[in-house]
Amino acid sequence: MKYQGNSEFTHSQVDKVGVLITNLGTPDAPQKKQLRAYLKEFLSDPRVVEVPRLIWWFILNLVILNIRPSRSAKAYKTVWTERGSPLMYHTQDQAIALRKTLQKHYGEHVIVEFAMRYGAPSVDSVIDSMLKQGVRKLVVLPLYPQYCASTTASTFDAVAASLGKKRWMPELQFITHYHDNPDYIQAVADKIRAHWQLNGQADKLIFSFHGIPKRYLLKGDPYHCECYKTSRLIAQNLGLDESQHFTSFQSRFGREEWLKPYTDSSLRQFAKDGIKSVQVVCPGFSADCLETIEEIAIENRDYFLEAGGQSYQYIEALNADTAHIDAMSQILKPYLSSMINKSEGINVPSVQSDLANRQQLAKALGAEN
């Protein structure tokens, strides 16, 4: 009888620890065809749109996918660069920087990769690659500071679906949120301070978060509360009183009520009320993307200025800033410490002993054939 191993494992591999960071995703190109494929995958996720599947199938395929791809392609063209989608290259930069930082502290047995929940590189393909590289302990960090079923839980679904197809599932740690992590709060606050040093401080600082339908909140999703806590902690760090900052929600879709107050209508009202200058930051976005660059930095700027405002500034996301990478490292530290010997690297003697045992087993199995 011939021994058959699977493609995810060989007896000569050294066990490794993997860190997988994930974000929402992006189309392959700012064209209608690519947008249709991306939106179909995204909007078909029952975590994203909680509508009876049969009803939603008709709405999605007969209405939305015939209208929205063209509009979205036009918007994506305004933010596309030589490196492609901002969300893609910022996330790639984050993974590269995080890999260097973690390997410096924990050694080269730590593998860091990134994946997208929708589009490429997919969660399944990246996990498959990591397992083939010898990852037997995996930490997943979705880059959504505030937990939401539509984002964080959906990522877990993708991870679970991928691992459900594997014969040897790795030890898994899944980080659900970090909305109040001190290092993350400090990084955002310092980003705002740096902006103030160059541009001065506006009359009001707006914390704009991605919205979700209000009924998700009523069903128990903690996202709304975690967004407000993030705003409060950043404002406290900056020494702002309640009159100097405001929390709102952007990117609503469809006709039903979403989390309020809405960012666009709030900006119009601020201008009408005589507030001359605002600065907007998006602490729920770990990387700049369509929603921050096109919607907040351009579209909402026009709303404010057209309503009578005089100065509007968008404060960029943390992206691959050193402070952001350091914050990620600190968020990951307790998880990695439980997997790696005394935070000084993998227990090499243990690995070598285990490797020798596996090689002996492989040799014995080969002899039997």
Query: How deeply is 44 buried, as exposed, middle or buried, from its count of CB atoms within 10 A (0-12, 13-18, 19+)?
Result: middle
Residues of each annotated binding site: 210, 291
Residues of each annotated binding site for Fe(2+): 210, 291
> From CA 57, how far away is CA 51, in angstroms rounded?
9
> From CA 265, how far away is CA 155, in angstroms rounded?
31
Distances in Å between the alpha carbon of 274 and those of 181, 208, 281? 35, 20, 21
Residues 6+ apart with CB under 8 A from 273: none
**Residues 153, 144: contact at Cβ < 8 Å?**
no
Its sign, for the CA torsion 210, 216, 218, 221, is negative
Query: How deeply is 254 buried, as exposed, middle or buried, from its count of CB atoms within 10 A (0-12, 13-18, 19+)?
Result: exposed
From the CB of residue 369, how many other CB atoms can be counted at a distance below 10 Å?
A: 7
**Residues 138, 172: contact at Cβ < 8 Å?**
yes
